[in-house]
């Protein structure tokens, strides 16, 4: 293996440049995982904030501390995600005809002999190839760092997020149980029949009517068997 061979150097740099282009696509493709985590955050984030406000959680309460931790970690993750998705420059090799036409003519105009022009063109192509590779490696390293930080802090944020969601759901469950208990007590009280005090009951004697006789008026009381009308 001849490391001084220009053709071999060009080949190695071309292979590595192709690998870096594929690496760039893979790094951007990992945004799908971050999107899934952010979707989980979207389920309860607004509810968690409303719970913080409506339940009058104190500034020094445990829930407030955990909620602020979630916001800080999520914010760091979001900033790195934005930096990951921010468009940056990617280096590309010029189209080949620039080398074998435009650049070739420039070398010839400088007085370089025809048999030596090809060597100069290979050197120019290798320099541009190396510059592209160096730039893209640095770009991909930065993007990979942003991607790693975005994923790490998103996963860290899941911990306080889960704790806050657990506290909120537990509180809502307790509220529902209280409402059910109150409703149950109300229904049981409303279904209770009032008790009758025998001492306050007014006893009315039955109306006694002889056979074939007319019914007396409502204000007339007939005593049983031989009683007088009143």
Encode 46-56: b = buried (16+ Cβ within 10 Å), e = exposed.
Answer: eebeebbeeee
Helix segments in the chain, DSSP class H:
6-29, 31-54, 62-85, 97, 104-109, 114-191
Structure token pair of residue 88: 């940056």
In the chain, where the domains are located: 6-191
* pLDDT score, position 204: 65
Query: How far apart are alpha carbons 215 and 210 in whole angstroms?
Result: 9
Mean pLDDT rounded to a whole number for the chain? 82
In terms of Cβ atoms closer than 10 Å to its own Cβ (0-12, 13-18, 19+), residue 230 is exposed
Greater model confidence, 198 or 39: 39
* pLDDT score, position 58: 64
Q: pLDDT tens-digit profile of 161-205?
A: 999 999 888 876 555 444 454 455 545 555 556 676 677 667 667
Query: How far apart are alpha carbons 93 and 131 in whole angstroms?
Result: 9
The answer to whether residue 13 scores a pLDDT higher than 70 is yes
Apex CA 10: angle with CA 107 and CA 140, to 5°? 115
Query: How far apart are alpha carbons 157 and 151 in whole angstroms?
Result: 10
Q: pLDDT tens-digit profile of 138-158?
A: 999 999 999 999 999 999 999
Full 3-state SS string of 189-210: HHHCCCCCCHHHCCCCCCCCCC
Cα 162 to Cα 48, 75, 120: the distances in Å are 10, 16, 63
* pLDDT score, position 192: 58
Whether the full predicted model's pTM is greater than 0.75, yes or no, is: no
* pLDDT score, position 149: 96
Q: pLDDT tens-digit profile of 119-130?
A: 999 999 999 999
Query: How far apart are alpha carbons 101 and 120 in whole angstroms?
Result: 13
Q: pLDDT tens-digit profile of 50-99?
A: 888 876 656 568 888 999 999 999 999 999 999 999 999 999 999 989 98
Residue with tokens 């760039």: 24
Backbone φ and ψ of 96, nearest 5°: -55, -35
């Amino acid at each position: 293996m001849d490391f001084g061979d220009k053709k071999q150097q060009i080949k190695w740099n071309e292979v590595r440049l192709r690998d870096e282009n594929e690496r760039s696509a893979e790094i951007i493709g990992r945004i799908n995982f971050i999107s899934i985590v952010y979707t989980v955050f979207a389920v309860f984030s607004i509810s968690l904030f409303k719970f913080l406000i409506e339940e009058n959680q104190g500034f020094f309460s445990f829930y407030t501390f955990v909620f602020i931790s979630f916001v800080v970690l999520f914010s760091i993750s979001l900033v790195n995600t934005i930096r990951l998705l921010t468009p940056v420059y990617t280096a590309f090799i010029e189209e080949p005809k620039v080398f074998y036409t435009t650049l070739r003519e420039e070398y010839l105009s400088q007085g370089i002999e025809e048999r030596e022009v090809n060597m100069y063109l290979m050197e120019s192509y290798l320099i541009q190839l190396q510059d592209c590779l160096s730039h893209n490696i640095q770009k991909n390293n930065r993007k990979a760092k942003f991607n790693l930080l975005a994923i790490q802090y998103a996963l860290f944020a899941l911990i306080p997020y889960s704790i806050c969601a657990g506290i909120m759901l537990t509180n809502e469950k307790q509220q529902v149980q209280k409402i059910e208990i109150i409703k149950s007590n109300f229904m049981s009280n409303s279904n209770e029949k009032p008790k009758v005090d025998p001492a306050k009951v007014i006893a009315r004697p039955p109306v006694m009517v002889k056979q074939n006789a007319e019914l007396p008026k409502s204000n007339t009381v007939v005593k049983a068997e031989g009683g007088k009308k009143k």
